[in-house]
Each structure stands twice: as C-alpha cells, then as structure tokens.
C-alpha cells in the first residue's frame, strides 16, 4: 500500500476515533487514574471501516520478520483480528493470538488462544489505548512465558501518561498511530 493510501486510511481512522471513541467527562481508567476524557476504541475497531483502517495501518508498521500479532483480551481482540485478516488479503498471512487475563477455567486452561507457534516466534503486541503500559505488559509476560520473542508494542492511541517511558525502561520498542494530542486537536478543529 502506498503512502497516499495510508494517509487516507489514517485520516479516516482518526475521524472515526474522534466521532465514536473519544468522550469528555469524569472517568476512572483501568489504571485507577481519574481522567477528564475516556477513549473506548471498540466501537471503532468493530466498525467495518474502522477495522479495515486499523488492520491496514498497523500491518504497515510491522517488520517483515513478524510471525504473529497478539493482544490482551478484550480491547485488542478486534485489533489483532483486523491485522490478521488484512495481512491474509495482502498475501502476507500473519496469525493473531489473544491473551487472556486469567487462565481458561476449563479444557486446556490456556492463557493464549490462537495457533501454536514455534519456540522463539517473533510476536508484536497490539493495544488499543496505552496509559501506564501495564495492560499490554501482561500480554508481553504471558507470551514470553510461552516461549515467544516479544520486543515491540504498537497501539492505536498513546494517552502520553507514562506508557511509552515504561516500555522503554523495560527494553520494549513502542509506537502509536495517534497520540492524545492528535485526537484533541482534531476535536478542537471540528468545533
């Protein structure tokens, strides 16, 4: 996909995130922090255009040596699925893995759902919104515990509240499609 196409998809995804995911008010985040805004990406990542834009943009950010994408359930489920489907359409099939917060209570008692990969497989963790970085770190630890190599996290949005710094401090590469500034500037210009 060329740069102009990616820009069109990036602009469309930003528009969808601002319209359907971003809300202002008084909120408590999963990190326990208070916030004057909340971002719920699921209405966008489960939207047909949003899923396609998400898949195309994040796929374009993956290096050729990536064996799979993974993420912590529930926020990352539609994201890893979108990237996997788009990758197959582009003749570069990349499997998706979903990491449970708690082990499955029956059957195999698995933490990780999806195809079994070879030991040392290169897996990139995908996330919807990064605040402190602790949620995606759970996925990193589970995947490493399963014998996979994980050294990169990609997110749709970085709230710029310490997550990027945390990832760097533990040796992880981190990149976000958007920052909270991108979202808030778009909202301000729309008004």
pLDDT mean for each 10 residues of the chain (191 residues): 88 97 92 90 97 98 98 96 97 96 72 95 97 94 97 98 96 98 93 69
CA nearest 86: which of 108, 60, 107?
60
Domains of the chain (ranges, CATH numbers)? 3-190 (3.40.50.2020)
pLDDT value for 32:
83
3-state class of 142 per DSSP?
helix
pLDDT value for 18:
96
Residue 38: is it exposed, middle or buried by C-beta count within 10 angstroms (0-12/13-18/19+)? middle
pLDDT value for 57:
98
Query: What CA–CA distances, in Å, run from 136 to 8, 24, 89, 151, 162?
Result: 28, 24, 27, 12, 13
Q: What is the pLDDT of residues 48-93, one digit of tens each?
A: 999 999 999 999 999 999 999 999 999 999 999 999 999 999 989 9
pLDDT value for 102:
82
Strand partners for 39? 22
Q: What is d(CA 5, CA 127) in angstroms, rounded to the nearest whole number? A: 23
pLDDT value for 142:
95
pLDDT value for 33:
83
């Amino acid at each position: 996909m060329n740069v102009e196409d990616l820009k069109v998809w990036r602009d469309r995804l930003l528009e969808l995130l601002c319209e359907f995911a971003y809300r202002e008010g008084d909120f408590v985040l999963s990190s326990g922090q208070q916030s004057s805004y909340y971002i719920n990406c699921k209405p966008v990542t489960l939207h047909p255009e949003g899923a396609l834009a998400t898949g195309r943009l994040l796929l374009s950010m993956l290096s050729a040596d990536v064996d799979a994408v993974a993420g912590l359930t529930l926020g990352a489920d539609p994201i890893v699925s979108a990237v996997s489907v788009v990758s197959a359409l582009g003749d570069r099939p990349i499997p998706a893995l979903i990491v449970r917060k708690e082990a499955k209570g029956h059957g195999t008692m698995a933490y990780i759902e999806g195809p079994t990969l070879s030991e040392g497989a290169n897996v990139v963790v995908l996330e919807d919104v990064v605040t402190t970085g602790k949620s995606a770190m759970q996925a990193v630890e589970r995947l490493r515990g399963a014998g996979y190599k994980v050294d990169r996290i990609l997110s749709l949005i970085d709230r710029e509240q310490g997550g990027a710094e945390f990832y760097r401090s533990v040796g992880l590469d981190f990149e976000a499609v958007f920052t909270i500034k991108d979202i808030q500037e778009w909202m301000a210009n729309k008004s």
